[in-house]
C-alpha cells in the first residue's frame, strides 16, 4: 500500500512530469501549425515548473531524482518546444511549402535547434554552477522560452505589424535565435525573481521589474510578454554595469 509520506515525497516529481507533458503538447501543437496553442502550453509548463520547486520547498521533498527530472523536463518544454515554434516561423518566413522541409534540402531550418542545444547546455551548467544558487548567470531557460512565446502572442495582438516585421524576415529570425542562444550561456549576472522582502532597499530590482511589467502589460496587453523578458534582460544588464561602476569608485 502506498503511504501518505510516499505520495507527499513524489508530489513535486508528479508536477515536474506535468511540465514535461505540457512541453510535449506544445511540440504537437507546433507540428499541427497552431503556434498560439504551442505558446500557451509552454506557459502552462512554466506554471508547473514554478510549482514543482515551490511544492518541494514547502514539503521539504527535495531529491536527486527531482533535480534530474526537472532538467530533463525543462529541455523539452523550454528547449525543444520553443525551437519548434521558431522552426515554423522560419519556415514561413522563407516561404517554404508545407510539403517540403529540412529533409528536402532546406538546411537553414536546422538553425532553431541550435537554441535547443544551448538550452540543454544552459541547464547542465546551471546544475553544476555553485554561483547560481540565489541568482542566475545567463538567461534562465524558462525566460528564454517565454521570449519566443511572446513573439507568437505579439503576432496575434493589436501590435502584430511590429512583430511581423521581425518574424517575416529570415535574417532577423536567425539573428534572434543566435542572440537567444548566446544569452543562455553568457556570463551576464541576472537577478532572481524571488521577492524576499517588500523593502525597496532589498528588493529594488524585483520591484523595478514588476512596475515595468505592469506598465508594459497595461500598454501592450497580450503583446507584452516578449517585452517583459527584454525589460528583465535590460534591468539585469543595467544593474550589473552599475555595480561594476560602484566597484571602480570604491577602488579608486
pLDDT of residue 245: 67
Residue 228 has pLDDT above 70, yes or no: yes
Cα separation of 150 and 144, whole Å?
Answer: 10
Top-confidence residue, 244 or 90: 90
* Terminal Cα distance for the chain, rounded: 68
Residues 4-54: tens digit of each pLDDT: 566 667 788 888 999 999 999 999 999 999 999 999 999 999 999 988 877
- Domain ranges in the chain are 4-97+107-251
Q: Among residues 107, 106, 84, which one has the least CA distance to residue 96?
A: 106
| Residue 178: predicted pLDDT | 97
* Residue with the three cell numbers 505540457: 22
- pLDDT confidence of residue 46: 95
Q: Is the pLDDT of residue 220 over 80?
A: yes
Q: Which CATH number fits domain 4-97+107-251: 3.40.50.720, 1.20.120.1760, 1.10.10.10, 2.40.400.10?
A: 1.20.120.1760
Identify whether the C-beta of residue 131 lies closer than 8 Å to the C-beta of residue 137: yes
3-state DSSP assignment of residue 137 = strand
Amino acid at each position: 500500500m502506498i503511504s501518505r509520506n510516499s505520495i507527499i515525497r513524489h508530489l513535486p516529481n508528479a508536477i515536474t512530469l506535468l511540465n514535461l507533458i505540457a512541453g510535449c503538447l506544445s511540440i504537437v501543437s507546433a507540428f499541427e501549425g497552431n503556434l498560439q496553442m504551442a505558446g500557451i502550453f509552454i506557459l502552462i509548463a512554466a506554471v508547473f515548473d514554478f510549482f514543482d520547486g515551490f511544492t518541494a520547498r514547502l514539503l521539504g521533498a527535495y531529491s536527486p531524482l527531482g533535480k534530474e527530472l526537472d532538467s530533463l523536463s525543462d529541455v523539452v518544454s523550454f528547449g525543444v518546444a520553443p525551437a519548434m515554434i521558431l522552426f515554423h516561423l522560419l519556415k514561413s518566413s522563407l516561404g517554404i511549402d508545407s510539403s517540403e522541409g529540412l529533409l528536402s534540402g532546406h538546411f537553414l531550418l536546422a538553425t532553431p535547434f541550435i537554441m535547443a542545444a544551448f538550452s540543454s547546455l544552459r541547464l547542465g551548467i546551471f546544475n553544476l554552477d555553485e554561483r547560481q544558487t540565489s541568482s542566475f548567470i545567463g538567461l534562465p531557460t524558462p525566460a528564454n522560452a517565454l521570449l519566443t512565446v511572446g513573439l507568437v502572442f505579439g503576432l496575434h495582438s493589436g501590435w502584430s505589424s511590429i512583430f511581423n516585421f521581425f518574424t517575416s524576415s529570415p535574417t532577423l529570425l536567425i539573428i534572434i535565435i543566435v542572440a537567444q542562444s548566446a544569452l543562455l550561456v553568457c556570463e551576464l549576472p541576472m537577478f532572481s525573481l524571488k521577492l524576499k522582502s517588500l523593502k525597496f532597499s532589498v528588493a529594488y530590482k524585483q520591484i523595478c521589474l514588476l512596475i515595468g511589467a505592469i506598465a508594459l502589460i497595461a500598454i501592450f496587453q497580450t503583446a507584452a510578454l516578449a517585452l517583459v523578458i527584454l525589460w528583465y534582460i535590460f534591468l539585469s544588464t543595467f544593474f550589473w554595469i552599475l555595480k561594476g561602476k560602484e566597484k571602480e569608485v570604491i577602488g579608486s
